[in-house]
């Protein structure tokens, strides 16, 4: 049994070495000098935008502090500290880790992809909240997909609609983006078909991913012609003039017109999670190609209408899906139904319309804040409310109840255990790369999350004790 625990620990160390480090020194508690750090901060801060409901007259010295823990994400420039005047209240925001343990530091904001249990700011002070910003793929950090991991955060901004500050439609710039007429007409697409172009495009260069999409596409390739230009399942070379644009974000004009000739685009996300949708879904729609989609199991909730994408989950097998696509390929009027949403009146999904209308942040829209600043202000206003409520309660406990604790739960992330893209897990070769990587990563992340909870419960100050705590937990599980 001890061998097993040792094995788990080895894997941890392996991961430690392999994972890129966040590039920041862990905070040195001995060097903690709140006074000098704050003095620097109070002078450099500049007041910028003030929300209409903000009557906060406090000086910088009285404001709560929000600390951005992750390097390189601090959404202000230049300097490392700034005063923000939000919709209802003001805060000082900083990326100076010296204020970690300061009594005025009300909240610490983390970037999900960089969040590492063995680098967490400890001890966790009871008066401090944690806020999570994670707009990226679930594959970047499965710690956050486990209850013990996500519950450590009091505020979240994730792709899930249930999060406190949802970023669900982050890859859809506007309604007009969807309404743009198809870049290539159906007549022209049909001409390309006659000239030998496949009905379906696949373009993927990130191959070993948790969604295991290549296993599915490999099976699909048996039943239908697919042109695959990326590194994964490649069966066609990219024209030379596109070689260096193929890995770029794909907004290159020549690249766009190259891919828009295809009637269908395979659009499989790298990780599966409710509400995780990226440009893989929206870009083909923008171009007037039909996405063959798998990613968010609840994607239908956000599509313009009930026939604007082909959902892989709706088909029992790749073979059935192939049959359906071939049928559409031969039937122009059926195909064109999938593009009806290009007419505004055919966008009937209210959730989509309202989601775009009501979000306070914008994409490439100078009249709206970006979502990093937006979330920062969300946390600022919430923290000021909480501090105010706590103060009222201290003064008049009979009249004002103590504020209720607030924390995230699995509905704010909660992505499922990676499963094979095709077939049953028992049928997969034990040496398969995907099998060795992703299910393990998922369960190791649960250990990390539980280890961090244990560190916090023991009021540890050194997060690198994580491995000891995980080891101890493994040993006590065996004792049961």
Ligand X SMILES: *[C@@H]1O[C@H](CO)[C@@H](O)[C@H](O)[C@H]1NC(C)=O
CB of 126 to ligand X, least distance (A): 7
317 binds ligand X (CB under 6 A): no
Map the footprint of ligand X across residues 99-128, applying CB under 6 A.
123
Instruction: Choose one: 50-58, 183-191, 301-309, 400-408; the region binding ligand X (CB under 6 A).
Output: 400-408
Residue closest to ligand X when measured from CB atoms: 405
Q: Which of 81, 154, 287, 296 binds ligand X (CB under 6 A)?
A: 154
CA distance 292 to 280: 10
Q: Tell me which residue of 128, 132, 129 sits closest to 157, measured CA to CA.
A: 132
Eight-class DSSP state of 232: T
- Spell out the residues 6+ positions from residue 7 whose beta carbon is closer than 8 angstroms to its own: none
Q: Which is nearer to ligand X, 102 or 286 (CB)?
A: 102
CB of 161 to ligand X, least distance (A): 10
Which CB atom, from 183 or from 411, has the smaller least distance to ligand X? Answer: 411
Residue 355 Cβ vs ligand X, minimum distance, rounded to whole Å:
17
Q: Which of 55, 317, 348, 409 binds ligand X (CB under 6 A)?
A: 409
The reply to whether 204 sits near ligand X by the rule CB under 6 A is: no
Residues 410-439 close enough to bind ligand X by CB under 6 A: 411
For the chain, helix, strand, coil in percent to 5 are 45, 10, 45
Q: Identify residues 355-394 at the interface with ligand X (CB under 6 A).
A: 386
Binding status of residue 405 toward ligand X by CB under 6 A = yes
Largest CA distance in the chain: 80
In the complex with ligand X, which residue's Cβ is closer, 111 or 153? 153
The smaller minimum CB distance to ligand X, of residues 149 and 210, is found at 149
Residue 461 touches ligand X, criterion: CB under 6 A = yes
Of residues 256 and 390, the one with the C-beta less far from ligand X:
390
Q: Is 129 in the site for ligand X (CB under 6 A)?
A: yes
Computed from CA positions of residues 298, 303, 307, 312, in that sequence, does the dihedral angle turn out positive or negative?
Answer: negative
Minimum CB–partner distance for residue 389 and ligand X (Å): 10
Compute the least distance from the CB of residue 279 to ligand X, in Å: 27
**Residue from 162, 279, 432, 441 that binds ligand X (CB under 6 A)?**
162
Spatial neighbors of 197 by CB under 8 A, at least 6 apart, are 227, 261, 262
Report the b/e string of 95-114 with b at 16+ CB within 10 A: bbbbbbbbebbbbbbbbbbb
Of 150, 209, 185, 210, residue with least CA distance to 407: 150
Q: Which strands, in side-by-side order, build the sheet including 264-268?
A: 226-228, 200-202, 264-268, 290-294, 310-311
Shortest reach from residue 130's CB to ligand X, in Å: 7
CB 411, min distance to ligand X, A: 5
Among 11, 151, 311, 473, binds ligand X (CB under 6 A): 151
User: What is the layout of strands, in order, in the sheet containing 155-158?
Assistant: 81-85, 90-94, 65-68, 105-111, 129-134, 155-158
Which residue among 58, 351, 406, 477 contacts ligand X (CB under 6 A)? 406
Quickly count: other Cβ atoms within 10 Å of residue 284's Cβ.
23
For 14, other C-beta atoms within 10 Å of its C-beta total 11
Q: What residues contact 200, with CB distance under 8 A and at least 6 apart?
A: 224, 225, 226, 227, 262, 263, 264, 265, 266, 292, 325
The span of 37-45, 190-198, 320-328, 401-409 binding ligand X (CB under 6 A) equals: 401-409
Instruction: Give the whole-angstrom CA distance, residue 396 versus residue 381.
Output: 22
CB-based contact 137:269 (threshold 8 Å):
yes
Rounded Cα distance, 332 and 348, in Å: 23
Rounded to a whole number of angstroms, the minimum distance from the CB of residue 408 to ligand X is 7
Among 459, 462, 464, 475, binds ligand X (CB under 6 A): 459
State the number of binding residues for ligand X (CB under 6 A).
14
Contacts to ligand X by CB under 6 A: 123, 129, 151-152, 154, 162, 386, 405-407, 409, 411, 459, 461
């Amino acid at each position: 049994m001890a061998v097993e625990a040792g094995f788990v620990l080895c894997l941890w160390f392996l991961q430690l070495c392999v994972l890129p480090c966040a590039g920041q020194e862990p905070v040195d508690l001995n060097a903690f000098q709140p006074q000098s750090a704050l003095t620097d901060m109070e002078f450099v801060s500049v007041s910028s935008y003030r929300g209409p409901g903000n009557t906060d007259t406090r000086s910088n010295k009285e404001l709560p502090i929000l600390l951005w823990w992750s390097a390189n994400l601090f959404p202000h420039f230049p300097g490392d500290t700034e005063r923000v005047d939000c919709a209802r209240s003001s805060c000082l925001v900083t990326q100076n880790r010296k204020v970690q343990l300061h009594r005025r530091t009300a909240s610490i904001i983390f970037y999900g992809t960089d969040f590492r249990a063995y680098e967490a700011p400890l001890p966790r002070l009871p008066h401090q909240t944690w806020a999570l910003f994670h707009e990226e793929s679930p594959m970047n950090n499965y710690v956050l997909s486990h209850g013990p991991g996500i519950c450590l955060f009091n505020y979240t901004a994730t792709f899930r609609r249930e999060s406190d500050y949802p970023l669900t439609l982050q890859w859809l710039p506007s309604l007009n983006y969807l309404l743009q007429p198809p870049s290539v007409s159906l007549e022209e697409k049909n001409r390309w078909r006659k000239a030998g172009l496949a009905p379906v495009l696949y373009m993927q260069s990130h191959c070993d991913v948790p969604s295991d999409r290549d296993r599915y596409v490999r099976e699909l390739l048996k039943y239908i012609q697919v042109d695959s230009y990326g590194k994964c399942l490649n069966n066609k070379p990219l024209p030379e003039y596109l070689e260096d644009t193929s890995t770029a974000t794909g907004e290159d004009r020549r690249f766009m017109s190259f891919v828009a000739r295809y009637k269908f685009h395979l659009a499989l996300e790298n990780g599966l999670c409710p509400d995780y949708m990226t440009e893989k879904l929206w870009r083909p729609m923008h171009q007037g190609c039909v996405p063959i989609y798998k990613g968010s199991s609840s994607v239908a909730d956000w599509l313009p209408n009930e026939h604007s994408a082909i959902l892989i989950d709706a088909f029992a097998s790749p073979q059935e899906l192939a049959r359906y696509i071939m049928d559409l390929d031969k039937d122009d009027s059926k195909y064109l139904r999938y593009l009806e949403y290009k007419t505004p009146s055919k966008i009937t999904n209210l959730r989509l319309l309202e989601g775009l209308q009501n979000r306070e942040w914008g994409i490439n829209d100078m009249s709206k804040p970006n979502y990093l600043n937006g979330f920062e202000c969300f946390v600022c206003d919430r923290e000021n409310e909480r501090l105010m409520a706590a103060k009222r309660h201290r003064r008049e406990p009979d009249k004002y109840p103590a504020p209720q604790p607030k924390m995230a739960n699995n509905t704010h992330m909660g992505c499922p255990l990676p499963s094979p893209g095709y077939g049953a897990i028992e049928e997969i070769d034990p040496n398969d790369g995907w099998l060795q990587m992703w299910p393990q990563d998922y369960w190791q992340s649960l250990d990390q999350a539980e280890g961090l909870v244990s560190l916090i419960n023991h009021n540890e100050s050194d997060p690198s004790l994580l491995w000891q705590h995980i080891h101890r937990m493994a040993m006590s599980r065996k004792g049961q």
